[in-house]
Amino acid sequence: MTADSAPQSQPQPTGYACIQKYVKTLDSSPGVYRMLDADSRVLYVGKARNLRARVSNYTRPGHSGRIERMIASTASMMFLTTRTETEALLLEQNLIKQLKPKYNVLLRDDKSFPNILVAKDHPFPQIKKHRGAKKEKGAYFGPFASAGAVNRTLNQLQKAFLLRNCSDSMFDSRTRPCLLYQIKRCSGPCVGMISQADYAESVRDAERFLSGRSTRIQEELAAQMQEASDAMEFERAAALRDRIRALTQVQTAQGINPRGVAEADVIGLYMDSGQACVQVFFIRANQNWGNRDFYPRVGPDVSPAEVMEAFLGQFYDNKEPPRQLILSDAIENADLMQQALSEKAGRKVEILVPQRGEKLELVSGALRNAREALARRMSESATQAKLLRGLAEAFDLDAPPNRIEVYDNSHIQGTNAVGAMIVAGPEGFMKNAYRKFNIRGDDLTPGDDFGMMKEVLSRRFTRLLKEDPDRDKGLWPDLLLIDGGAGQVSAVHEIMQAHGVEDIPMVGVAKGVDRDHGKEEFHRIGQRPFALKRNDPVLYFIQRLRDEAHRFAIGTHRAKRAKAMGATPLDEIPGVGAARKRALLAHFGSAKAVSRANLADLKAVDGISAGLAQKVYDFFHEKG
């Protein structure tokens, strides 16, 4: 792969003239091109089978309004040539995700999806939820659309197969069955209530069920239940009956269970008024494992084919594609996309746009869900826009805010103090923009809310001034909401002045008389506090913002406190990571026992070398 760009000249032409100048320097190689504005911001990233032919298309008039605006803003271009068009497609999608160009279709919500993992690194395998890289040894089943879908399935699988979900260290430390055994959610392998062979059979049944062979398992369980009943073993028969019911509940909750589609993602796209919703149903082992909706950023004149192709490229950039992609809309480069995804998966990936039969029914269901989800979102957006206009009117803002930042602190008598920032805008809460701040100030008095807020705001705006000094990346707030009264607002104002930022409105939200919900008072610099009517929708909106900031701050504080409670002196020893810490605790039972161990005992622990054993021994010896 080679990089290329045309020589610059002064003054630099823009628009059609700029692009025409680059066309003269290009050859017919496949590759990726970038269009940049006068400030070198990337406007668009595209791929081409033939760079010269593709870029020359931009020199001819007759484009849509969106493309005409993009061409008019183009002041320079960059090019990367590739060996094949498939390589160009993959590179294009990587660059789009990294650079987020203004005129590309963008997939804004691209989180990983959870799986069910049957871990195989223990004689009695554990069944659990897994998200992220598949590094653990075991069998993975998924993806599921959400953590909730995984939890519901795991809950029923525990009832049906009685597999453990406890950690290995907890398993090894048990001396009597836990509550899950008592309520018939686990077979009690930790204390020998089931043999390893019988437990392994239950694991195989669970894997067969997750692989789509559920009917056979239910038939076998029904036969066993009848045998138990005939033998007057009514308690065992009742337990088998409960397991059959649990499996039936999993299948009922899954809803759609197509017979003719074993492994596929069903993708429906609906567009309306310059907005788009993509609905994805995950079909694995002939079972529906949930659906998720996405709202890519599109323009008013983007075609469904362009949106669908951009979605596929970006969605599967960090995910393994299934064997089939069943689409509601055809894409222009279906063969190319199919080849790229097949190379990524290491097996054939088929792209289909069905015209009849069960696959068409699946797509129609996805399309209906996409249409309904987009209608709900557009309705919510209209309501949100009205609330933002009301907020601007209530606080005398020049325009409805596009970005509201709300700040809060959380601590217990000054310990494990954290600051939190949540963000809201025209589309509601922007959770990918939330930030947490571990309070570092050593000179702060425990419980000093003013001091904590000063530290949080100082760090926030110091970083903003560094990352976006020209305020052109959409990172700067249009309004600050502070949990507190006149004192907090005054402290924040001082911080802003110290950083040379005095043009951002800020409002303190105080509890008001008797700290009553609904009697909030609002404080601004140089103005008297005021309140809104109790039934004002803007007041409810502000309460939601403040409550969300409070929820996020408390959640962050609890996580920090839980981590601190789980900390041990072993965390301070260089070379002792999570795995070796677990090995030491599993072997000795506690950090205190590790501190008392002699060198020979430390060396006997699996995974602990002689050198590391010496470090551990010296650490506790030096500490006395």
Q: What are phi and psi of 416, to 5 degrees?
A: 50, 45
- Looking at the fold, whether 242 and 315 belong to one and the same domain comes out as no
Asked which of 70, 104, 138 is the last residue of a domain, the reply is: 104
Tens digits of residue pLDDT in 403-435: 999 988 876 555 667 888 999 998 889 888 999
Q: Is residue 125 part of a domain?
A: yes
Same domain membership, residue 582 and residue 558: no
The span from the CA of 5 to the CA of 56, in Å, is 16
pLDDT of residue 216: 66
pLDDT at site 534: 80
Residue 302 has pLDDT above 50, yes or no: yes
Which domain covers residue 93, as residue numbers?
15-104
- Tell me, yes or no, whether 397 lies in a domain: no
Let me know if residue 443 belongs to a domain: yes
* Residue 213 binned pLDDT confidence (cut-offs 50, 70, 90): low
The enclosing domain of 20 has a CATH number of 3.40.1440.10
Are both 201 and 284 inside the same structural domain? no
Examine the domain organization and report whether 448 and 556 are in the same domain: yes
Amino acid 486: pLDDT: 84
540-574 burial, b if ≥16 CB within 10 A, otherwise e? ebbeebbebbbebbeebbeebbeeeeeebebeebe
Collect contacts of 443-446 with beta carbons under 8 A, ≥24 apart: 444/414, 444/417, 445/414, 446/411, 446/413, 446/414, 446/415
Exposed e or buried b per residue across 489-510, where buried means at least 16 C-beta atoms within 10 angstroms of its C-beta: bebbbebbeeeeeeeebbbbbb
User: Cβ atoms within 10 A of the Cβ of 254, count?
Assistant: 17
Q: In this predicted structure, what is the pLDDT of residue 513?
A: 59
Structure tokens at 313: 């490229």
How confident is the model over 278-289, as a mean pLDDT? Answer: 86
Picking from 253, 283, 312, the residue at the C-terminal end of a domain is: 253
281 shares its domain with 203: no
Pick the range with the lowest mean pLDDT from 2-11, 176-185, 419-428: 2-11
CA separation for the pair 246, 153 (Å, rounded): 10
User: What tens digit of pLDDT does each residue of 62-80 get?
Assistant: 888 888 999 999 999 999 9
Q: How confident is the model at residue 517 (pLDDT cuts 50, 70, 90)?
A: low
Say if CB 160 and CB 225 are below 8 A apart: no
Q: 113-127, 132-146, 239-253, 268-282: which has the minimum mean pLDDT?
A: 239-253
pLDDT at residue 183 in the model? 86
Mean pLDDT throughout 136-145? Answer: 86
Q: Tokens in use for 443? A: 């000179």
Q: Average pLDDT in the 127-138 region?
A: 87
Q: For the domain that residue 582 is a member of, what is the CATH number?
A: 1.10.150.20
| Tens of pLDDT, residues 587-617 | 887 778 888 888 888 888 888 888 888 888 8
Distance CA 478, CA 384 (A): 16
| Residue 220 confidence class, pLDDT cut points 50, 70, 90 | confident
Please tell me whether residues 237 and 286 are part of one structural domain. Answer: no
Q: Are residues 218 and 301 in the same domain?
A: no
Question: For residue 157, is it within any domain?
Answer: yes
pLDDT in tens, 36-70: 998 888 999 999 999 999 999 999 888 888 889 99
Scan for tokens 């692009």, then name that residue: 19
pLDDT digits (tens, 9 = 90+) for 185-202: 899 999 999 999 989 988
| Amino acid 470: pLDDT | 82
pLDDT higher than 80, residue 556: no
Number of CB atoms found within 10 A of residue 182's CB: 10
**Which residue, among 480, 509, 413, has the nearest Cα to 452 in the 3D structure?**
413
Work out whether the CA dihedral 591, 596, 599, 600 comes out positive or negative. Answer: negative
CA distance 5 to 220: 67
Residues 153 and 246 in one domain: yes
pLDDT of residue 255: 47
Cα-based angle 141, 146, 147 (whole degrees, multiple of 5): 80
**Structural domain contains residue 387:** no
Instruction: Give the type of residue at 292.
Output: R
The closest of 103, 53, 100, 95 to 78, measured between CA atoms, is 95
Do 458 and 517 share a domain, yes or no? yes
Domain boundary among 196, 221, 253: 253
pLDDT at 8 over 60: no
Can you give the CATH number for the domain in which 459 is found?
Answer: 3.30.420.340
For residue 158, tell me if it sits in a domain. yes
Same domain, 579 and 548: no
Residue 563 has a pLDDT of 66
Cα(589)–Cα(603) distance, integer angstroms: 16
Of residues 484 and 444, more confidently modeled: 484
499 occurs within a structural domain: yes
The CA-based dihedral angle spanning residues 68, 69, 74, 80, taken in that order and rounded to the nearest 10 degrees? -70
pLDDT tens-digit readout, 305-320: 999 999 999 999 888 8
Tell me what the mean pLDDT of segment 136-165 comes to. Answer: 84
Note the pLDDT of residue 218. 66
Q: Can you give the pLDDT at residue 624?
A: 43
More confident call, 66 vs 251: 66
In total, how many domains does the chain have? 5
pLDDT for the residue 416: 66
Token code pair at residue 126? 């554990």
At 390 the pLDDT is 92
State mean pLDDT over 122-144.
88
226 pLDDT higher than 50 = yes
**Is 420 in the same domain as 552?**
yes
Strands, E, within 120-207: which ranges? 127-130, 138-141
Note whether 246 and 172 are same-domain residues: yes
Asked if residue 4 is part of any domain, the answer here is no
- 291-295, 329-333, 534-538, 542-546: which range is least confident on average? 534-538
Residue 500's pLDDT is 86
Compute the 3-state secondary structure of the chain and give helix, strand, coil in percent, each to the nearest 5: 45, 20, 35
DSSP 114-125: -EEEEE-SSSS-
Neighbours of 396 (CB within 10 A): 9
154 within 8 A of 196, measured Cβ to Cβ:
no
Q: Could you give the percent of the chain with pLDDT greater than 90?
A: 29
Distances (CA, A) of 422 to 380, 384, 484, 553: 19, 16, 16, 9
Query: Is residue 240 over pLDDT 80?
Result: no
Q: What does the pLDDT read at residue 9?
A: 46
Instruction: Say if pTM beats, i.e. exceeds, 0.75.
Output: no
CA distance 202 to 191: 17
